[in-house]
Amino acid sequence: MIIKLKRLLLIFIYICIIPCIVLADDVQEETELTNAEIQETLEISSNNKDILKDINSRAYIVIDRNSNRILCGKNELEKRKMASTTKIMTATVVIENTNLSDTVEISKKAANTGGSTLGIKTGDKITIKDLLYGLMLKSGNDCAVALAEYTGGSIEGFAELMNQKACELGLENTHFETPHGLDSENHYTTAYELAILSNYAMKNKTFAQIVGTKNYTININGYPKNINNTNELLGNLNGIYGIKTGFTNGANRCLVTCCKRNNMDIICVVLGADTKNYRTKDSIKLIEYTFKNFEPINVEEKMKEEFLKWKNKNKFSIIKGKTKNIELEMEELEHSTIPILKEQISNIDISIECENKLYAPLIKNTKIGNITLKINEEIIAKANILNKNQIEKKSVYDYLLQFFKDYKTYFNKLYDY
């Protein structure tokens, strides 16, 4: 009897411990950095030229939001667990496929989900909008399941929607199995693809508003409840305006951050930091490094200047064309301004490839060449050179007309003699 009781006690302890071990997510067992510690990290970042060597996170990346250009990274293409940064995709799919004013009744499955929760119970009624705030501010796994069930019919059905969206965005090294990101073998992404997903999500005004909110009052069964954002940098570092924290034992500490200062707008992703303090410090270091060492350059302006010089120096022959006049134009760049490492600005090289001898007919807006801006062989920007006017091919009639004109000119010259 005593042995049986011991076994039951061990089983009970095991059941109690397992959720803490496996399902832990965005728990607050670690203290956040104080303002003094944040200022100290900022000072270290500004004075340390080799700050990138002092990053604890297993993988990181910083991209320019306008062009998706990678500004710095480490193991950014390596597949890794992503913890609650998964909820960036969860919220995106929900926002694009539901009515935010709809009311959801919480299922037993959602209410019993482990890890970080909003604290909703079976039978509770709450709007999708408030569930989204609970999802992104409190990192509520219960909210994730409730939203998945409502939007996709089940967790499995919702995961299909998540993977369809990943495919649509070209995320080839990302796969979802759950809406909350608790550790799962086939649930992964890369720092790079998480940054691309985040950039897409932040273009949605509803999403951006939610993740940029420090605290918010939701309603459960008509009763108000105030919640705070788990993002420790929001409101504590210049320019931060989103987006999501994450933690599981398998993924370690993760953080995706958006930061905008003057003409630069970046996304920073850190994955696999050992502690919450490390992920905070790593994010600060990467953000400060980027704004200190990169300068937004109007590459389109530089390319157009070079193009005009080239165009004025070169002559073009139109073989078999009714007209010899050709109007060339450089195609507009999708992103005119791109951050460039300050020490590499002097290494900018612009090259032009274009045929000088062209054959009619030439259709309007025909590509006849290209102009490329590189830095140390890395292509930063590329644009087509277009023919802006229609040039038709000479017909037999045109050749006869030209013959008679030439003959008349020749005859007149003889007559003058």
Task: Give the catalytic positions in this structure.
Answer: 84, 87, 139
139 φψ region: left (φ > 0), alpha (ψ -120 to 50), beta (else)? left
Q: Which residues pair with 353 in a beta bridge?
A: 370
Rounded to whole angstroms, how far apart are CA atoms 405 and 149? 81
Q: How far is CA 70 from CA 66, 180, 214, in A?
A: 11, 27, 28
Select from 272, 341, 354 the least CA-distant residue to 313. Answer: 354
188 secondary structure, DSSP code? B
142, burial (CB in 10 Å: exposed 0-12, middle 13-18, buried 19+): buried
Rounded to whole angstroms, how far apart are CA atoms 201 and 288? 23
In Å, the largest CA–CA distance within the chain is 135
Q: DSSP H helical segments within 212-340, as ranges?
A: 276-293, 299-313
Rounded to whole angstroms, how far apart are CA atoms 234 and 75? 26
Rounded to whole angstroms, how far apart are CA atoms 36 and 400? 87
Rounded to whole angstroms, how far apart are CA atoms 262 and 325? 44
